[in-house]
Amino acid sequence: MTDTPAPDLKPSFRNDVTVELVKHAATDSDVLWAARVSTAGEQSLEELQKDPERSKGLINYLMRDRHGSPFEHNSMTFFISAPIFVFREFMRHRVGWSYNEESGRYRELQPVFYVPGTDRKLVQQGRPGKYEFVDGTAAQQELTERVMEDSYRRSYEAYQEMLAAGVAREVARATLPVGLFSSMYATCNARSLMHFLGLRTQHELAKVPSFPQREIEMVGEKMEQEWARLMPLTHAAFNTNGRVAP
């Protein structure tokens, strides 16, 4: 790997995340094809478009009865840019996922940092296992923004000071916080994405509610939008059946 050109060293602050679908081979037909091979053998590809209602019913049946493997014969690759603390949670998803992340050893890390937007609920109330998040006061908002930005600036200055003195990137990066943005490619299939969405989004249709950190949920919501466009029948069946991965 080679060095990247000199980056823009002025810190910038973001309250959003980037999710782009960069590559895909994922349609509802892929599910039908895989499911019907068990009964129709080699002719199954030709049968696909013949009866849309039957196709919808079959996808719903597979989802409801948790016949999961037909949902694996497809692929979606996302480019994601989000804070490192989101990636720490993301990469806990081991099954049906492939990851490649930018390197802090081979390139100088860019000073892009996460600061929550005004719509991010700042205050946690309740006891462990049964709590909710509520809006912060204006003073808490102001404090959060100011303290985070100060802290980010100082840590990036420390990073720069070490690099300027000839210390290796892989050593100097230890000064940087988990609010720093990173980027990665993440490839999954509909089944592994559904498992991710079941855990990392909150949704009124979820049979088993989850309480994810808002920032990974922001990534999940954008991925779900892309996936719903590619596989509308599968997405609808996921919702109808309580957003539990088959």
Ligand X SMILES: Cc1cc2nc3c(=O)[nH]c(=O)nc-3n(C[C@H](O)[C@H](O)[C@H](O)COP(=O)(O)OP(=O)(O)OC[C@H]3O[C@@H](n4cnc5c(N)ncnc54)[C@H](O)[C@@H]3O)c2cc1C
Is position 94 an interface residue for ligand X (rule: CB under 6 A)?
yes
Supply angle C-alpha 242, 245, 246, rounded to 5.
Answer: 105
Site size for ligand X, by CB under 6 A? 10
- CA gap 239, 63 in Å, rounded: 10
How far is residue 163 CA from its own chain's centroid? 31
Rounded least distance, CB 134 to ligand X, Å: 18
CB 87 within 8 A of CB 18: no
Has 105 been labeled as part of a binding site?
A: yes
Has 88 been labeled as part of a binding site?
A: no
Has 103 been labeled as part of a binding site?
A: yes
CB 49 within 8 A of CB 230: no
Cα distance between the two ends of the chain: 40
Number of H helices, E strands in the chain: 9, 8
- CA gap 98, 46 in Å, rounded: 31
Specify the DSSP element, H or E, that contains 98: strand 97-101
Contact flags string 203-232 toward ligand X, x per CB under 6 A? -------xxx--------------------
Contacts to ligand X from residues 1-20, by CB under 6 A: none
Has 98 been labeled as part of a binding site?
A: no
CB 225 within 8 A of CB 189: no
Which of 5, 8, 50, 95 forms a contact with ligand X (CB under 6 A)? Answer: 95
Rounded least distance, CB 35 to ligand X, Å: 21
Rounded least distance, CB 66 to ligand X, Å: 12
Rounded least distance, CB 76 to ligand X, Å: 15
Is position 59 an interface residue for ligand X (rule: CB under 6 A)?
no
CB 220 within 8 A of CB 22: no
CB atoms inside a 10 Å sphere around CB 165: 8
Of 108 and 217, CB closest to ligand X: 217
Has 92 been labeled as part of a binding site?
A: yes
Q: Could you confirm whether 107 is annotated as catalytic? A: no
Q: Which residue stretch of 12-20, 146-154, 192-200, 228-236 sits at the interface with ligand X (rule: CB under 6 A)?
A: 192-200
Rounded least distance, CB 202 to ligand X, Å: 10
Of 38 and 98, CB closest to ligand X: 98
Of 126, 148, 145, the closest CA to residue 137 belongs to: 145
Q: From the candidates 54, 66, 127, 200, give the one annotated as an active-site residue.
A: 200
Positions in the binding site for ligand X (CB under 6 A): 92-95, 195, 199-200, 210-212
Binding site for dUMP: which residues? 89-92, 101-105, 173, 200
Q: Would you list which residues are annotated within the binding site for FAD?
A: 69, 92-94, 101, 189-191, 195
| Residues marked as catalytic | 200
